[in-house]
Each structure stands twice: as C-alpha cells, then as structure tokens.
C-alpha cells in the first residue's frame, strides 16, 4: 500500500521536465510503474563527457530542474534524491527528472523523517545526512550541488568514505 500511495502521488505530476508515469499496478506479487520512455543520456553521463559547462548552459539546465522541483513541491511531493543520475537529457537537451522512488507526499500532518539517511550522499542536504526532517529546501540544496557539478565538473565534497562525505 505504501508503494501504491507513493507511485500514485508521483503519477499526479504532469510537467515537461518530469518523466511521465502512465500506470501503476501489481501482478503476481510484483509492483510495477509504467513510465514514459526517454531516449537520451543521464545528466551524469553528460557531465562526465562534457563538464564544465558554460554559464548559459548551467542556467538553462538549472531552470529546467528547478521548474520540475517547483511543480512537485506545488503538489506536496518532495523528491529527496535529486542528482544527475536521476535527470535524463533528451537529444534536444530537455531535462526530465525521474526516479521519485523515495519521494514522499507531504501534508500538514506529515513529517518526512525516518531516522536514517535516504538519498545519495554526495547530493544530500545536511538534514538528510543527519536523518532529520526533510522538506522542500532539501531538494533545492541537492539541486545546488548538481549546478555546482555542472559548472565545475566536480563535486563540492569528496572524501574516502560515504560517512566522511556526509560529515562535510
């Protein structure tokens, strides 16, 4: 029921910069989501090939990511794992945020905290790294890390272990 609720919540998103979800179901004990097929590469693949990007490209990509995040937040959905691996880039350079698998629908009675860190350590917000309350600003922090990586070709925080990265 948790999977279905979260998948249906993500399916409520309809935006040109978010991968569309067409169906959610259950068959022979397996849950599934039918999503839009996006031909292209992940933003991470392109960063590895092309970064650092010029200012105009960083701004264009940033506006597309923030537009998708703003739409999700307007629907009370926090992504919680914004990273270039979860952003697809079409051949015409349209960005599409995907993988709302750990997203949470929130309302005034919901506190998004699990006591454990969820997401990708290099893109975590500090509150995620501490397993604390997560809200819309957590997605914006992660977006800032993505923009930094686009502009510089590197991550702002790196270390020998995931724990060390999270502490930074």
| Rg (the chain; Cα; Å) | 16
d(CA 134, CA 156): 21
d(CA 68, CA 79): 10
Asked if 91 is an active-site residue, the reply is no
d(CA 2, CA 161): 32
Catalytic one of 48, 81, 92, 160: 81
- The length of the chain is 168
Nearest alpha carbon to residue 89 among 136, 50, 34, 132: 50
Q: Where are the alpha helices (DSSP H) in the chain?
A: 2-11, 43-50, 55-74, 126-129, 136-152, 162-167
Residues identified as active-site: 81
């Amino acid at each position: 029921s948790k999977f279905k609720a979260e998948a249906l919540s993500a399916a409520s998103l309809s935006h040109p910069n978010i991968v569309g979800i067409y169906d959610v179901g259950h068959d022979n004990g397996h849950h599934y989501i039918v999503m839009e097929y996006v031909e292209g590469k992940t933003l991470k693949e392109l960063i590895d090939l092309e970064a650092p990007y010029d200012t105009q490209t960083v701004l264009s990509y940033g506006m597309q990511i923030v537009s998708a995040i703003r739409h999700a937040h307007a629907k009370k959905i926090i992504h919680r794992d914004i990273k270039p691996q979860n952003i697809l880039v079409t051949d015409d350079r349209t960005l599409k945020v995907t993988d709302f698998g750990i997203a949470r629908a929130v309302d005034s009675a919901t506190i998004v905290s699990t006591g454990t860190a969820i997401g990708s350590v290099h893109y975590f917000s500090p509150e995620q790294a501490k397993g604390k309350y997560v809200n819309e600003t957590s997605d914006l922090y992660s977006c800032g890390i993505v923009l930094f990586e686009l502009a510089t070709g590197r991550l702002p925080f790196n270390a020998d272990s995931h724990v060390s990265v999270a502490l930074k």
